[in-house]
Structure formats: C-alpha cells, structure tokens
Structure 1
Amino acid sequence: MKTPRSGGDLCRRYVINSGDHYSLVCTRCGARVADDGTRSGCALCGDDSMLRTEYEAEGFGVDPGASGVFRYRQWLPVRREVAGSGRPAVFRSEGLGGALGLRDLWISFSGYWPERNCGMRSGTFKELEAYTVLGRVPEDAGVMVVASAGNTAAAFAAACRDYAFPCLLVIPERAVAGLAVAGEVGEHVKVVALEGATYNQAIAYSRRLVASSPEFFAEGGVRNVGRRDGLAVVALTAYEETGRLPDFYFQGVGSGAGAIATYEAAGRIIRASASSGGDEAMPRLFLCQNAEFAPLHEAWTGAEGAHPDGQRQVLAPELVNAAPPFSLAGGVRDILTHSAGEMLVADRTSALAASAMFEELEGVDIEPAAAVAVACLRDAVLDGRVPKDARILLNVTGGGRRRSFAALDGACHRPDLRTAHPDSAPEAISSDILNSFSKGARRVQLI
C-alpha cells in the first residue's frame, strides 16, 4: 500500500528536500537529527522531551508568492505547498478593545469571516496545523491516524479536500456533527467515532489502531513539529501585520500546542530581531481553560483537581486533555516559567457571556474555546492583571461556523464513518479501513 502517489493534476510550485532548510533538536538533551517527515520524538529521551525545529533562515521573512501558511515556509518544516490553506485575520480591536478600555488590543481571528478575507471552512485555527502537517509528511508514509476532540478532525477533513492523503480521524461520537462544516469530504478521509468517549479515550484508541498495522502511522499531536510550527503562523502573521511582538498573549488551551508554538515562534523572532539590533521581548503567555476541568491550571497553580465528571460539563471540549504535556522539556511548565505567564480559567456562564459580547461588538460568532479566552481576558483586565495600555494579542482560535454552514447551502457530505466502543479491539475495524483505502483513487493536487 505504501507506494508513491501521483496524478494528472500534479503541479509543484516548489519542492524542498526534507532537512535542507531545517533540522530537529531535542529540547532536553540537545541531540540534533534529520527529519523523515513523521518523526515525533527523541530516541534518547523518549517521552521526557519534545523535538523542536531549527531553521537555516535566521531572519524573519515571507514569500509573497506563496499562499496561506506557506507564506512563512522558511520557518515551516515542509517539503511542499498544499493548495487551499489560509492565514488568520489580524486587526486592532475597536469593539472589544473599547468595551474593555484597552488601547492596544489586537485580535488574531482564525475561522470563516469573508469580510476580513479569512476563509477557513472548518472554522478553526487547526487548519494552520493540518496544511503544515500535510506539507511535511512523505507521500508514501501510509495512512495517517489523527486523534481529535473535533476541531483538528474538521481541519484535516477540510485540508484533505485539496490534498488526497489517506487520513483516519478518531473522534468522540459527539464530534461527528462538526465535520459537516468542512463541506465535501473525499474518499481518502475515514472516521472512527467512539461511543460516549472523551478526547483522551480517542487518543488511546488511536494508539491502539496504529499498533494494529504497519500501514498506519500516528500524526503525533503536540509532539509533531509540523503541527506546532503550523500553529505558530498565528504569531508570524501578527508580527508581520503589527511590526512587533505583543506584551501579553491570550489563548484557550487543551494540550497547549498552540501556546508552545507561539512561544517557539516568538523566540525565533527575538533572536532575529537581536541580530539586527532590535529589542523584542517574550510576550507573557496567559493561557485559559474551562473552570470545570482544568488540568494545566491545576498543575501550574497546585489547585485541587476537578472531578472527572467535569469533562462532560465544560463549554469547550476542545480544551479538555486529561494528560497534557506539562512537565516534559519544552512543555507548558517551561513556557509559562520562561514567559512569566499565568494559567486562567472561566466557567461556562462566564464564557457564554463573553461569546455573546464578542459577537455583538465584533460582528462574528466565535467557538467555545475562543469564548473561554475572551472571558479570561475580560477577567484579567477587571482584576488589574493586564495594564490597559499594554499591547495584547488575543488568539480567537475559531469562529464564523454559522456563516460557514450557511455558505455551504446544505451541501454537507457525511464522511466515511464507522462507530466503535472505546474499549473494543481495533483489529477488525483496522482491516476494514485499510481495505476501503486500497479501493479508493489517490489524487494529489499541489500548487
């Protein structure tokens, strides 16, 4: 099954041989390794660290001829540009900023908002990582298995419309409805929906699927440098648009991948600035979780752990990860420590009020994870944790889904779906999925 794929639509704008413009470095032992496009860990340190990228290009730069995330390809671990990606819309907020009394609030919006030239059909910034991961992975790697609480699955379903890479999405059953926002889903995307499952049960089941056949490989989650450097496009776009790093950065987090990405990107920008006489400084990272279930907040503050049932009571299930990368080298504890950051929480009532406030003031609906971040920003301002004259970047990680559904005009397509119990053996469903992939056409479309 692992054979190179090609097609009549193949048209490359550029091809980068893996390792030509970057290398991978262990955050714990410093070991430097070449990238094979799927590597997600250090052979020496195992689960105690993450890999990060080091790029040949030391200065910040853009490729104006490239589209979407690939505008920043010199700081992306990619070997090809995949058609269809977008970038966040970055703008100074007059509505929300004015209501909160903030003089220099900037919003990075990822989602569907045509008036601001933002067209992410999945309604989430996870598209940034999906296109970057697809631009990194070898074409003959096999079937990529992606565990998701919902948003990442929707993003990969959207990205795989343009790049026909075999992808298996493993999600809780409640997340199936959110895949429709991606519109048409091709035959190269399969879904396993787990009955009554949590996000962490989806992660566990995806690992068992990968172990069931050598034809599968794990996407890697927060350990995938493609995922993190794709999410870093939030920081890169904001820096390009505003000309400087913010003083404070707010984002809702589950695993913390987007926050780690922002920290790593800010570090590259700071080093590039220093080499040319600049004085950029690391933003303070204010990371936000559901008050009902907040493992990162508890780990950082030493607060008493929430009851496990809290996972099912949260407004934003995308922010629920019961085993986030907190203490490993390069993980959330490190970035909070080095950025003088904080962990904040907002409960369901507060986040719902923040969502309504944002839509009224800015004119677009936002996703629950973003609403948690808005609520935490509002509370931080009221508590005096954030000076009102500080430059703040608020990462609105998803929005515009109602607009996106309306734009589809009913043209939603059900994905190739199988259901399973999270405790069931994966072998039968694994065989069925691989057989279905072998029967499907493989079409690659690059730009």
Structure 2
Amino acid sequence: GDGGGGGGGKILVVPSAGNTSRAFAEVAALTGMPVVAVVPKSCLHRMWTTVEPETETKKHDNIFLISVDGDYSDAIAVGKDLVERGGRVERGGRVERGGRGGGGLIAEGGARNVARRDGMGVVELEAAFFMKVLPDYYFQAVGSGTGAIAAWEAFSRLLGDGRFGGKMPKIVISQNLPFAPMFYAWQDGRRAEIIAEKDMKNAEEAIKKMYADVLSTRNPPYSVRGGVYEMLKDTNGEIYGVTNDECREAEKLFESEEGVDLDPAASVAVASLIKAVEEGFVGKEERVLLNITGGGYKRLREECKMWKIKERLEIKSPSQLPLPLEEVEGVILGELLRR
C-alpha cells in the first residue's frame, strides 16, 4: 500500500479500551487501509477480527497493534504522543521528521471528531424512522459521553425536520461504579471540570473493579460547551451510577428475554433503565430508545471464526513517554509502509 488512510497520506491512530479499536481494525482488515490501534495490555483479548488473514505469514500487517501497561487513559496518552511526535509521510514512502502535529499519523479525535459523532447518530436516525416519532427517553452507558452527545445532536436535527414530533427526548446516561466521575460531579450539582480528588478517588483501583472497564474515561467532555453537562440540562436528563451486581442481573434478564448476550457496557445501560422504571423516573407506557452498544458474542463465535490480531509493540509503562521519535518513525511508520 501507499500508506494512505485519507488525510493526505496520514495513518489513523485509534486509542481505546478495545471495542473502538476492534471496529477500526475490522474495517482495516476488510479494506487494507492501515491503522494504528493503541489499547491497554489487559484489553488485548478484545482485539480480533472476523476477516481471515491473506496468508499464514501475512497476518493483518496493515493493523499495527500497540499495548500499554496501564488503563484506557494511558492508551489515550500514548496515542496522543504518537501523533504529536510522528514523521511526515511523503510520496514514495519516504519518511521525514515532522514537527508537532505535522507527521504521518493522525488522531481519530474522539468526542471532537464530528464525523465520528455523526456516525454514532445513525442509531437515532434509524430509530426515528422505525418508530415514526422521537422517543420520550434515550438510555446509554457512557465513558466519555460522546455517543450520548451524538444522540443529542441527532435528535436536534430530527426536531428541526419536524416529521418526528416536537419534543426533545430526555437523555439518560449511566456509568459503572465505582469509577463514575461524571455521575459524582452531576450528583454534586457541578458544571465545573471533573475534580480528580473528589470524582476519581483511587482511580486505578476503581477501574480494576469495574465490570465494564471500557467506560473508564478519565477526561470526559463534561463541562465543555456542547458537552455532557449542557446535554443533560438541555434535555432534562439524568445520570445513574450502576453497580457490578446490577449489571450482571440486568445482563441475565436481557439475555433471557431477548436471547442475546450483552457487552458489559450495554448491561450498564439496561441496569439503569431498570432502576429508572423502578424509581418512577420513566413511566411504563412511555417510549424508550435503549442503545445496546454491543453484544451477540456467543452467536458470533458460533457463526464466525475470530482471528486474533498480533501485538506489534508493547509500552511497558506510561513512564516511557514521551516515545522516541525514531521509534515512531522506524517501527510504526516503517513497518506499515513496507507492506
């Protein structure tokens, strides 16, 4: 390949706790486009694809998987450092040293990526066309809150369209206790930035105890303009904190009723809906859109072969940052461009 991933020959860097990176890796395996995936070491088991490798020796060589001995926030820090210190990719595959942010790697962008938010908003568009009307409530489990912000933006457009009613749905998000910084800030009535000492006490230990560790974002867009706080205020929404036991009970109930096993994050959302109904926040006759953000793994294992993605580089501790520029150029860009 020519190293191009759109963006003038830049290669996409996607840090995640496994699920988002796996989705990008699946697309990369299908299309041949290069991608750099950065995940915590503990999440490597989530990095697989249903696309068979081209040959036994060429196993998804366009997917450069980096593991970080840390949590999701550490993976984000590594991804940011890679992009800021990468080399510029020129025609013919020649690599030159680039300045800050001017290299051959480009960040996926997270909550700031408008295209990502619009892609997530397709769920709400599909639901509105199916339901013929906007829901009264929208439920989703969140780490950063990007998906819920995307729903808010999609609902705003649907309201402007006028064919799906004139009432903004109440957006209800949920976090997995004990690591739930936005839940604690919201309960405290705060719009200000997340306070680490108050909202993320013993963060590392709290994250290890989570049932849905993919929701462990330490720097969510909570207080920024157009962020989670404004979304909740604008929609008269709510945040629920959900325990691991509540997640497991919700997961069992959902699978028994729907026949589909849940991703842990989706079980957080289901548990929050159960709590909201039990508390009377949601009436039993009201329309609810529940976003099941992942699941069906049992069926997938029965119907598809899952190919493990090879780890290409290990960052043993966040203290190794910043990464040497030569390592970024020589190891990552060099290998992807030699395909």
Conserved? CA contact 1:187–1:416, under 8 Å: no
Residue 305 (1) aligns with residue 222 (2):
no
Aligned residue for 1:378, secondary structure, equals helix
Match of 2:309 in 1: 414
Q: What whole-Å deviation, never above 9, does each CA across 1:285-313 have from its counterpart, x for those lacking one?
A: 01010021101111212185353121110
Conserved? CA contact 1:292–1:314, under 8 Å: yes
Match of 1:128 in 2: none
Match of 1:56 in 2: none
Match of 2:13 in 1: 145
For 1:261-280, list aligned pairs within 5 A.
261-273=150-162, 279-280=165-166
Q: Distance in 1 between matches of 2:50 and 2:185?
A: 35
Aligned amino acid, residue 237 of structure 1: E
Match of 1:363 in 2: 259
Residue 284 (1) aligns with residue 157 (2):
no
Q: Distance in 2 between matches of 1:258 and 1:188?
A: 28
Q: Distance in 1 between matches of 2:337 and 2:51?
A: 24
Conserved? CA contact 1:172–1:198, under 8 Å: yes
Residue 189 (1) aligns with residue 56 (2):
no
Percentage identity across paired residues of the two chains: 34
Aligned residue for 1:387, secondary structure, equals coil
Instruction: Decide which of 288, 292, 307 is 1:392's aligned counterpart.
Output: 288
Q: Aligned pairs, how many?
A: 303
Unaligned runs of 5+ in 2: 54-59, 87-102, 190-197
Aligned residue for 2:307, secondary structure, equals coil
Aligned residue for 1:210, secondary structure, equals helix
Match of 1:127 in 2: none
Q: What whole-Å deviation, never above 9, does each CA across 1:77-102 have from its counterpart, x for those lacking one?
A: xxxxxxxxxxxxxxxxxxxxxxxxxx
Return structure 1 stretches of 4+ with deviation > 4 angstroms.
none
Q: Calculate the aligned-residue CA RMSD, in Å.
A: 1.9
Residue 206 (1) aligns with residue 50 (2):
no
Aligned amino acid, residue 193 of structure 1: S
Aligned amino acid, residue 286 of structure 1: V
Q: 1:328 to 1:164 in 2, by over 3 A?
A: same
Q: Distance in 2 between matches of 1:182 and 1:200?
A: 27
Conserved? CA contact 1:194–1:420, under 8 Å: yes
Q: Distance in 2 between matches of 1:429 and 1:183?
A: 29
Q: Distance in 2 between matches of 1:329 and 1:408?
A: 43
Where is the helix percentage greater, Structure 1 or Structure 2?
2
Q: Distance in 2 between matches of 1:299 and 1:379?
A: 20
Q: Distance in 2 between matches of 1:4 and 1:170?
A: 18
Aligned residue for 1:254, secondary structure, equals coil
Q: CA deviation at 1:139?
A: 5.5
Conserved? CA contact 1:147–1:202, under 8 Å: yes
Instruction: Decide which of 126, 134, 150 is 1:237's aligned counterpart.
Output: 126
Q: Distance in 2 between matches of 1:318 and 1:299?
A: 20
Q: Distance in 2 between matches of 1:182 and 1:212?
A: 32
Q: What whole-Å deviation, never above 9, does each CA across 1:59-116 have from its counterpart, x for those lacking one?
A: xxxxxxxxxxxxxxxxxxxxxxxxxxxxxxxxxxxxxxxxxxxxxxxxxxxxxxxxxx
Instruction: Decide which of 174, 181, 198 is 1:295's aligned counterpart.
Output: 181
Instruction: Decide which of 215, 229, 251 is 2:140's aligned counterpart.
Output: 251
Q: CA deviation at 1:143?
A: 1.2
Q: Distance in 2 between matches of 1:192 and 1:250?
A: 32
Conserved? CA contact 1:4–1:139, under 8 Å: no
For 1:284-363, list aligned pairs within 5 A.
284-302=170-188, 304-307=198-201, 308=203, 309-363=205-259
Q: 1:318 to 1:140 in 2, by over 3 A?
A: same
